[in-house]
Amino acid sequence: MSTLWLKNPSAIHLGAETPSDIAAGGLVVDTSAGTIVEVVAAGGTPIDPPDQTFDASAYVVTPGLVNTHHHFYQTLTRAWPPVANSKLFDWLVTLYPVWARLDAEAVRLATTVAMAELLESGCTTTADHHYLFPHGTDVSIDVQVEVARELGMRAVLTRGSMNLGEADGGLPPQHTVQDPEAILADSERLVRTYHERGEGARIQIALAPCSPFSVSTTLMAESAALAEELDVRLHTHLAETRDEEDYCLQHFGMRTVDYLESVGWLTDRTWVAHGIHFDDGEIARLGAAGTAVAHCPSSNMRLASGIARAVELQDAGAPVGIGVDGSASNDSSNMVREVRQALYVQRLRYGAEAVTTGRALDWATTGSAAALGRTDIGTLRVGGQADLALFRPEGLAFSGSHDPLTALLLCGAERADRVMVAGDWRVVDSRVVGLDTEALVARHSQAARGLVAG
């Protein structure tokens, strides 16, 4: 065992409504095992002398933030003028042909940029929903696994899919869809090759048909059966816009939650992205089933899709997590900024007293972890994974603030100073360790220009 004492933080958020004062003296991490072995009370010292001590007195410590929904490849089409002012369906129709020009190197660059930005914003675990596999990109998930391992980040990489093209009544162009047999075979390959189980898992695979308007009901049902057979999670977009609701009524004769149940997805194996347009009965059904929702506030505002009923979903029993969504509908992969957005947009719906800063942080930590089926991350506790973020609330933006933890969101923290994953520092001085950021930005920007130019 090699131990590190994170000593006397200025504030600490343990998560899951655990009183922070029990760890006012900091945390002791077993850096070799990657777990937390002790919480230290105010004025106390570790039971055994630590091998190293880190003075955390200038820092706010939180569990590593957990991102439940993203599309890494979309970092290549940020702030693209033709879709800057579009609603979802028009936005998709315009972007599908551009994304269809992706190649494996573009996926690698886009993934690296997205994951690095997430890390620097305090995120230690991320999900990604990758559903586009144009010619030459069958290895996209394999590439993402390589990048996650290089950066030292935990990832739930979903094998997404689209098989319902325009000719069959779907939204995507025909050249962006795949045969169901190929989709299911590759899904099984990826799970058997990469999926890790149990506490401390670094790479996991989930199955993620894209949406009701791009996937057949048969593929949805077959994906649910395969996920149960392989014991992995399910993910899809659901109830993001009124247009989607209208589509489900027109094509399936049912609303989105009825559709979800009809294909075998209304279970606690599932987490859905957005989940905005649910009625009271549907919220109750999702809660009873334990189906989780990834709340993506910036994307929902960017595309004017609506405001998720996050408080009611959580109160009904549906785990609620936070997602930054793709960087062409949020145009950012900043997780701590997304928590602030969730805090404010949910206060707009429910009021300030119902949506505290602690509740918003818990959505991004314990709630997000639950959405991904994890109990070993998202909290700071003895025996849990040593995934944590250290923020330094300093400078003009924080001058005059009285509570460091509250200031983290209300004053608008942008970047973590340090980030640890499994006991290993992956961000130091607000930069990903070992990453040539300037060279990455140059290569990624060149790829982005080439993609939209055709």
Mean pLDDT of the chain: 96
Main-chain phi, psi angles of 333, to 5 degrees: -120, 35
Answer yes or no: is pLDDT of 17 > 80.
Answer: no
Residue pLDDT, tens place only, 122-152? 999 999 999 999 877 899 999 999 999 999 9
Strands 292-295 and 270-274: parallel
Is 3-63+385-432 assigned to CATH 2.30.40.10?
Answer: yes
pLDDT digits (tens, 9 = 90+) for 437-449: 999 999 999 999 9
If pLDDT is split at 50, 70 and 90, which confidence band does 1 have? Answer: confident
- Model confidence at 360, pLDDT cuts 50, 70, 90, reads very high
Residues 218 and 158: their CA atoms lie apart, in Å, by: 19
CATH no. for 65-371: 3.20.20.140
The H or E element spanning position 316 is helix 310-316
Question: Are the C-beta atoms of 171 and 202 separated by less than 8 Å?
Answer: no
Could you give the CA distance from residue 118 to residue 113 in angstroms, rounded to a whole number?
A: 9
Please tell me what DSSP assigns to residue 385: B
Q: What is the pLDDT of residues 157-172, one digit of tens each?
A: 999 999 998 888 888 8
pTM, full prediction: 0.97
Residue 414 above 80 pLDDT? yes
The pLDDT assigned to 204 comes to: 98
What are the residues whose beta carbons fall under 8 Å from the beta carbon of 316, sequence distance 6 or more? 283, 284, 286, 287, 288
Q: Is the pLDDT of residue 211 over 80?
A: yes
Token digits of residue 294: 């990834």
Q: Where are the domains of the chain?
A: 3-63+385-432, 65-371
How far apart CA 44 and CA 41 sit, in angstroms, is: 5
